[in-house]
Amino acid sequence: MAVATIAHEEEPEHGYGTAVHHEEPQRPTMNQLGLWLFFLSESFLFAALLVSRFYLAGTTRPGVNQPLGLLITSILLCSSLTAYRAESSIARGNRTAFLSYLLATIALGIVFMGGVAYEWSTAEFTRSSPYGAAFFAMTGLHATHVISGVVMLAMVAYLGARGHFSAESHWGVEGVIKYWHFVDLVWVFFYPTLYLVKF
Amino acid sequence: MKKAHGGKSKAGIGWWIFVGLAIMTGIEYLIAIALNINLFFLAQIAILKAGLIAVYFMHIGRAFERPEEHEE
């Protein structure tokens, strides 16, 4: 009842325009907050998988391809830098650099996916083993996020090439690049968990 | 998003953060492979790396800015 009363009081009597007018100055902050809440909800999912790896396989480290693990981690790290540079470039109004860095980020993301695919095809363990189940689930879910990130970056690059976004207005770029950094952040935890941990 | 975030001076920070992350990744790899160091140490490095990414690359601070600060 109380909730209904508050909602009624906040709703403008003469239509939807007034409410929009009051909310508009807060829009960037609300977008940021919404995105971070999304990241928080995603973090629970990734954290659950990370914990399940230790539950299923303990701290063993079966024969994973260490050089490949380090290589794809480095590639993802480089892609974070190019993504950062792309965002900085559009913030300065440099569209050419923005598009170049964005395309480099997409290319690095695709190379990362190639590395993961190669790891899957040459893995010494199977999906039915405890470590294999954790490994394929974790890398699989992460790869899904990388693919969706690449698709979103491609959409941003397409829109950017058509003249969208500017130094003054580039929330679309910022949001997608934040997502890309989040994918990198997840891998920061997944890499040692899958490749390095061993007692 | 009313104002461009990250001018030319801030753009250089990205390189330093990248170098820091790369060095930490190298240390992580070397100590894990050569020394079989424990989970606690690896977790500390991972948390530090994640913190750098969240603060400098993802600009987590902006999520807590008031609208007038955000747009100034």
Q: Is B53 an 8 Å CB contact of chain A?
A: yes
Q: Does residue A126 register a pLDDT over 70?
A: yes
Of residues A106 and A197, more confidence is placed in A106
List the one residue out of A27, A146, A122, A1 whose CA is nearest residue A65.
Answer: A122
Helical H runs in chain A?
A: 2-10, 17-23, 27-57, 66-91, 95-122, 130-161, 171-191
Q: pLDDT at position B34, please? A: 80
Q: pLDDT at position A63, please? A: 79
Q: Does residue A76 register a pLDDT over 90?
A: yes
Q: Does residue A9 register a pLDDT over 80?
A: no
Taking contacts as CB-CB distances below 8 angstroms, the residues of chain B near A29 are 63, 65-67, 70
Average pLDDT over every residue of A65-94: 94
Q: Quick count: other Cβ atoms within 10 Å of Cβ B46?
A: 21
Q: Does residue A4 register a pLDDT over 60?
A: no
Q: pLDDT at position A167, please? A: 86
Q: Does residue A46 register a pLDDT over 70?
A: yes
Which tokens hold the place of B17?
């953060």
B9: nearest CA partner in chain A:
A88
List the one residue out of A106, A100, A118 whose CA is nearest residue A148.
Answer: A106
Taking contacts as CB-CB distances below 8 angstroms, the residues of chain A near B42 are 192, 196-197
Of residues B33 and B3, more confidence is placed in B33
Kindly determine whether residue A199 and residue B38, on different chains, have CB atoms separated by under 8 Å. yes
- Reported confidence tier of residue A73, pLDDT bands at 50, 70, 90: very high
Which tokens hold the place of A29?
């902050």
Q: Does residue A7 register a pLDDT over 80?
A: no
Average pLDDT over every residue of A21-47: 80
Q: How far apart are CA A9 and CA B20, in angstroms?
A: 52
B12: nearest CA partner in chain A:
A85
- Reported confidence tier of residue A22, pLDDT bands at 50, 70, 90: very low
Q: pLDDT at position B38, please? A: 72
Q: Is A125 an 8 Å CB contact of chain B?
A: no
Quote the DSSP letter at residue B61: G
Q: Are B71 and A171 in contact (CB under 8 A)?
A: no
Q: Does residue A65 register a pLDDT over 60?
A: yes
Q: Does residue A13 register a pLDDT over 50?
A: no
Kindly determine whether residue B46 and residue A192, on different chains, have CB atoms separated by under 8 Å. yes
Share of chain A above pLDDT 90, in %: 66
Q: pLDDT at position B31, please? A: 86
Q: pLDDT at position A57, please? A: 84
The residue with tokens 């809440």 is: A37
Q: Which of A196, A197, A198, A199 to mutate to probe the B interface, most B CBs <10 Å?
A: A196
Nearest-5° Cα angle at B60, B63 to B38: 145
Average pLDDT over every residue of A143-163: 96
Q: How far is CA A140 from the centre of its chain?
A: 14
Contacts with B, A 27-46, CB within 8 Å: 28-29, 31-33, 35-36
Taking contacts as CB-CB distances below 8 angstroms, the residues of chain A near B32 are 192, 195-198
- Reported confidence tier of residue A30, pLDDT bands at 50, 70, 90: confident
Q: pLDDT at position B47, please? A: 96
Q: pLDDT at position A141, please? A: 96
Q: pLDDT at position A59, please? A: 78
